[in-house]
Amino acid sequence: MLSLLNTWDFGRNRTPTGCCFPKKFVSRLLPMTRGPSPHRKEKIRRRVTMKAKYARYATSVLATLLLMQGNAVMAQDDAATWDSLNEAQQEVLQPYAESWGTLSPERRSRLAQGARRWSQLDAEDRAAAQDRFQSWRSLSDDQRSTIRDRYQQFQNLPARDQARIRENYQRFNRLSPDRRQRLRDRFHQMTPDQRQKVRDRLRQRQQQHRPRTSDRPPG
């Protein structure tokens, strides 16, 4: 409290206690210098805890936005200025408000696009994105590098192969959690040759179910 009193400007004619208020009034304030009351301490603790939680949440959200964008190259134009962002984007990117102009155009574009996508997600999709981010953080550097390499390989595939992989992924997600875990465990226990045979078999199955060009009705 003394430091607070000394900070405030009550006038030039200060008493030895640090302000120009009557001693009777100051004496009521001095007992507070022993420390805040337990109730006040609890309020301060809750406030600090909430700020820390918000900081962790904001950091998690911003990092998730970058992961959602992958390695996509966004257009670097005036759309990435802070004033051009809508209210939902500015709310998500509030931690970057003061330093927005110092970021590179590419990073601003990526964050703006990610914030737009994030604001369009419902609560369930946001929770899923947060889970993916936490899983990403738990990986080692080598595992992250492997995932980046595979993602780049996926980007280089023809559109037809990309669609096939997405279809398999969606079919896998429709399974029950127990069934998915059993398939994961079985796949991890396979040798590299066995895994490759499974991939080849799935690819052949997809090709068999895909209609041939000659079988399609004329347009």
* DSSP collapsed to 3 states, 17-76: CCCCCCHHHHHHHHHHHHCCCHHHHHHHHHHHHHHHHHHHHHHHHHHHHHHHHCCCCCCC
Condensed to tens digits (0 to 9), the pLDDT of residues 136-191 reads 889 899 988 998 898 888 889 898 888 888 888 888 889 898 998 898 888 888 89
Q: Which pTM does this prediction carry?
A: 0.40
How many angstroms separate the Cα of 132 from the Cα of each of 17, 30, 156, 187, 189? 56, 52, 23, 21, 24
DSSP for 123-171, written as a single string: HHHHHHHHHHHHHHHTS-HHHHHHHHHHHHHHHHS-HHHHHHHHHHHHH
CB-side neighbour CA atoms (13 Å) of 31: 5
95-100 mean pLDDT: 90
Q: Are 21 and 10 in contact (CB under 8 A)?
A: yes
- Residue 180's H or E segment, with its range, is helix 177-188
Q: Is the pLDDT of residue 204 over 70?
A: yes
Q: Are 118 and 61 in contact (CB under 8 A)?
A: yes
> Which residue in this structure is represented by tokens 């022993």?
34
Condensed to tens digits (0 to 9), the pLDDT of residues 41-61 reads 676 666 655 555 544 555 555
